[in-house]
Structure 1
């Protein structure tokens, strides 16, 4: 135990003894080569500095991957891969998972010559509450991850990037697109791709047809927001059920291939019943906060791609389509990919088409516009 405490203390001192300039948002703290990267890929587990929407500074984690090739004469193109919901507990960080590469469709882009930057976001893999679906906090972590990757010599990452994400990561991608110009003017956003993105948060938490998934995601959101901002859950659930919401969020990471434990199943069923007729859009302060962190169609720049399955039971297709129509009304053209698979495979099902679309944007081709058929 003493050795463990000493190691933790040394880590703390090594981070916070750095000069203030070295702690600026976007600065790399460490890049540890990964021995278990796929063939043809070099990868690093990284730590870097970011800030939340209030300007507070955090040391966060992620993975950067690049082709296992000689450093090219020009900087490599970059894709920021924004992951879907893995949970809100520290242990749920994608970079800690042995299944990271197989579960992350965005890593396929390395084979196309890209550097892929995959941030964990704030609070996953680091000791603070994860700001689940909090737009600006997440966008900052993504943009600072792209900045930090440029400090890894072997990655040879450039300043031009695309952002691509699924589910929660689709929300992150759209928020990153809206924030790039103001938060990271040193970076150039080339394209934004979002697969099954939550856009109107209250509507998504209300209209997804899988009530069990809705209950778990609602638990993530309620626990995250109440912990970070002191919001009372009294208007949503009684004290006993609030305890169940907290335990569901603290103890569960999302795993598409694992069966949930009996306690998790019972907890989810309890929250399904407890929130059956509850709409957080009408429960303050959650309603106002959900609206503030929904995606404003008027602020999302093009070129833009949205991929959505008509059979998605978690992100309601009607909500995504409504958002896409709002984007089109604002005069921003978008490419729409219509799919038929399940939610968990949204990015994988659309990966080939999405990567081809991103390639074309980097190559300067005119983007397609599907607004007339949405």
Structure 2
């Protein structure tokens, strides 16, 4: 084990040195070198500068754009980007408590990275509420979004490492941040939040982890496959299929996507990986009137791809910190019964789980519906008075 840690530290040191030497002698690279003395390790800042004000969340006092080191899905060092938002007001004794935000599906192309592309109105409103409640918000882009490597979509270890190392990096560039933190994630990020809760104790024992908030997380992949109705050939093609496929290709070199997609489908996959985010890919599909039959080699492709993600199932074990799982009852993207099953399994394993099903809330609406409960629950984890909402 010691040899593995030494090898990783050496690799990280070589990587950060190569980045700093290869790049121009900018103030950002000098700041990174100053901010991270000694051997490079996960969370080491590679570059830091002010985030353009057009990308600030309402209620932000100051914001940073970072690149930092993390641990890839395969255990190798990688560089990840993200943003840090500091709230307005007076810093509390002990520093600003931290919410590490794990975002939902935006796409797999570099142009989709939220720290440079911006965020949806839904996310802006949601994250601004956390800022207003007195938390610093640190927001990873995840591995391969905004950086050269492919984005390993729905890869639990990769997303958890990026989410944790975002906290480490943020604390390097701003000393007003506390050691105490929680993870908050939606959809893809809800999956990341639960993985973060599973691995934080061994990956970052120096930080004071208070808990995880997960809304609408995709889980129970094998059971989901069994519950999915067959795709209808004449139905409109599903944009997220290409996001899932790209993530599978990023981590499975033996998977030939020509067995899943037609030539038209492969062209859309290329667009997804190079230039189009989830919403713009959907617009292309709609404008062309493309159906499942146009893009897929057979109608079992979605089930087959979800089955390949079974290795990324949420670890069912006793987590060392409490978890709040919120699910919209009207969600048609994530099956509510699957989320509830995961919550029940975690509770049976000894995890402190709060599960709430929100009637009438769909995949997006669960954020708004659950927010008051989430703010109150999280304030209790930090022993703070809940902010008015």
TM-score, normalising length: structure 2: 0.79
* Equivalent residue in structure 2 for 1:292, among 305, 311, 327: 311
The question of whether the paired residues in 1 share the 8 Å contact of 2:319 and 2:350 is answered with no
Report how far residue 100 of structure 1 moved: 5.4
Listed as ranges, the matches of 1:8-23 within 5 Å are 10-11=23-24, 21=38, 23=40
Corresponding position of 2:343: 324
* Equivalent residue in structure 2 for 1:342, among 357, 362, 379: 362
* Equivalent residue in structure 2 for 1:84, among 104, 113, 124: 104
Report how far residue 254 of structure 1 moved: 2.7
The CA distance in 2 between the partners of 1:27 and 1:164, in whole Å, is: 22
Q: Tell me: CA distance 1:306–1:50, structure 2 relative to 1, closer, same or farther (3 Å).
A: same
The CA distance in 1 between the partners of 2:25 and 2:189, in whole Å, is: 29
Match status 1:226 vs 2:249: yes
Q: Tell me: CA distance 1:274–1:239, structure 2 relative to 1, closer, same or farther (3 Å).
A: closer
Match status 1:138 vs 2:155: no
Report how far residue 199 of structure 1 moved: 1.4
The CA distance in 2 between the partners of 1:23 and 1:43, in whole Å, is: 24
Q: Tell me: CA distance 1:106–1:22, structure 2 relative to 1, closer, same or farther (3 Å).
A: farther
The CA distance in 2 between the partners of 1:119 and 1:161, in whole Å, is: 14
Match status 1:75 vs 2:75: no
Listed as ranges, the matches of 1:29-68 within 5 Å are 29-34=46-51, 35-36=53-54, 37-41=56-60, 42-68=62-88
The CA distance in 1 between the partners of 2:95 and 2:310, in whole Å, is: 39
Structure 1's unaligned 5+ residue stretches are: 1-7, 366-374
* Equivalent residue in structure 1 for 2:184, among 132, 153, 164: 164
Q: Tell me: CA distance 1:292–1:66, structure 2 relative to 1, closer, same or farther (3 Å).
A: same
Mean Cα displacement is larger for which, 20-29 or 210-219?
Answer: 210-219
Corresponding position of 2:299: 276
| Structure 1 vs Structure 2 CA RMSD | 3.4
Report how far residue 109 of structure 1 moved: 0.9
The CA distance in 1 between the partners of 2:42 and 2:218, in whole Å, is: 27
Report how far residue 159 of structure 1 moved: 1.5
Q: Tell me: CA distance 1:279–1:46, structure 2 relative to 1, closer, same or farther (3 Å).
A: closer
Q: Tell me: CA distance 1:249–1:364, structure 2 relative to 1, closer, same or farther (3 Å).
A: same
The CA distance in 1 between the partners of 2:290 and 2:22, in whole Å, is: 37
The question of whether the paired residues in 1 share the 8 Å contact of 2:236 and 2:292 is answered with no
Corresponding position of 1:3: none
Q: Tell me: CA distance 1:300–1:268, structure 2 relative to 1, closer, same or farther (3 Å).
A: farther
Match status 1:25 vs 2:57: no
Listed as ranges, the matches of 1:362-373 within 5 Å are 362-363=382-383
Listed as ranges, the matches of 1:233-248 within 5 Å are 233=256, 236-237=259-260, 240=263, 243-244=266-267, 246-247=269-270
The question of whether the paired residues in 2 share the 8 Å contact of 1:219 and 1:248 is answered with no
Listed as ranges, the matches of 1:91-106 within 5 Å are 91-99=111-119, 103-104=123-124, 105-106=126-127
The CA distance in 2 between the partners of 1:78 and 1:214, in whole Å, is: 39
Q: Tell me: CA distance 1:294–1:320, structure 2 relative to 1, closer, same or farther (3 Å).
A: same
For residues 213-270 of structure 1, give each alpha carbon's deviation from its aligned partner in whole angstroms, at most 9, with x where no partner exists.
99332321222222443132358425526514523532431349x9712467645634
Q: Tell me: CA distance 1:32–1:235, structure 2 relative to 1, closer, same or farther (3 Å).
A: closer
TM-score, normalising length: structure 1: 0.82
For residues 278-317 of structure 1, give each alpha carbon's deviation from its aligned partner in whole angstroms, at most 9, with x where no partner exists.
4645x7xx74x52221102225444111111111010011
Q: Tell me: CA distance 1:11–1:351, structure 2 relative to 1, closer, same or farther (3 Å).
A: farther
The question of whether the paired residues in 1 share the 8 Å contact of 2:63 and 2:84 is answered with yes
The question of whether the paired residues in 2 share the 8 Å contact of 1:233 and 1:242 is answered with no
Report how far residue 98 of structure 1 moved: 3.4
Report how far residue 200 of structure 1 moved: 2.2
The question of whether the paired residues in 2 share the 8 Å contact of 1:191 and 1:361 is answered with yes
The question of whether the paired residues in 2 share the 8 Å contact of 1:61 and 1:126 is answered with yes
Corresponding position of 1:184: 204
Match status 1:174 vs 2:194: yes
The CA distance in 1 between the partners of 2:345 and 2:87, in whole Å, is: 38
* Equivalent residue in structure 2 for 1:117, among 132, 138, 160: 138
Corresponding position of 2:277: 253
